[in-house]
Amino acid sequence: MPMKTLITALLLGAATLGQAAAVDPYGYKLPPSMQPKKKAPPAKKGPPPIDYVGEFVNFGEWKEVRAFLDDVASRDGFDRAALNTLMGQVRYVDAAVQLVKPAPPGKPKNWQAYSRLIVDPVRIDNGVKFWNENRDALERAEALYGVPAEILVGILGVETVYGRNTGRFRVVDALTTLAFSYPEAPQRSERMAFFRGELEATLLFARQNELDPLSLRGSFAGAIGMPQFMPSSVMKYAVDFDGSGKVDLLNSGTDAIGSVAAFLVAHGWQRDVGGPLVYSAAVSPNRAWESMINQGLSAKYRPQELTAAGVTTTVPVPEQQTYGLVDLQNGAEPTEYWLANNNFFAITQYNRSYFYAMSVVELGRAVRLARGGL
């Protein structure tokens, strides 16, 4: 079936740091990587090229794939023959299988090393430029959703350096591979079910936006655009924040800003939780606080409970809020401890990692300082 016919068939079925202090009143440290300045190369426009050679394995002949396509055609009103033709053009991507495997055990976590890689001059310089170019959209998102501009800038910088690194895999290739050939691992069945759902969401998104599904580019796990939304998140949370009539997370910084803000609110961000998201903390030698570590991605402890367990902060924390005790390991060096409020844990719903959420906080703050913000 010619590509034009295929697309039609799918559519017929029923998107200045130099003067800053080394440590601020809340205990944030300016990483050394923020001192030098490097001029970043200009961002390239248009979809990135594919950077892998996929293997043809005829997914359409796999029993599990045929059952999936039958379900999708029935549930979503796709033309079954068109889906089969599409699947005949999908490639198996071994790189996705290798990249999704967990890191080998034994290497200790190191927050300072991680931070130096993320909160770097390239991201800071590009963050200043992005903030300046999108100031109106950031202010509008903050007013509408209650998410500060520096958090939105931090997430988009960590994810893709403001659209510079949005991924070079065909989304359908990566998702099909992981949906039906996920590597042996704990919860393999659950992970395959997750990626099958994302593959279905990709087909729905492409149809809704009149796109060829094979034209979509993303990460090795199928994440799309400047904010690296999985396809189901695009369908649920992405917003047309620039009023163009369509959602474009690849080319519209405005849509990316609004969509990230909408995602955070849907995952627990609270407008009325003011002040810093984290406070530098110290812990007592009696280790009564140890049971408060790794208690899930939530803020559940009152300040009085933390104080009673031997946790203190460099500045007073708001008494009406709850907090979680976050440990940031530094390899052979001492672990850093922080009290994190509800909004910090909303960021962890974007990526379930303390390191990730803290890097968002620090990058956003670094960009604000670089712009001359207080």
- Which residues are identified as catalytic? 159
Extract the tokens encoding 35.
């001192």
- Residue 373's CB: how many other CB atoms inside 10 A? 11
Contacts (Cβ under 8 Å, ≥6 apart) of 54: 90, 91, 92, 93, 170, 173
Q: Describe the crossing of helices 149-160 and 121-133 by its angle, rounded to 10 degrees.
A: 130
Taking the C-alpha atoms of residue 131 and residue 253, their distance in angstroms, rounded to an integer, is 10
Phi-psi region of 271 (alpha: psi -120 to 50; beta: other; left: phi over 0): alpha
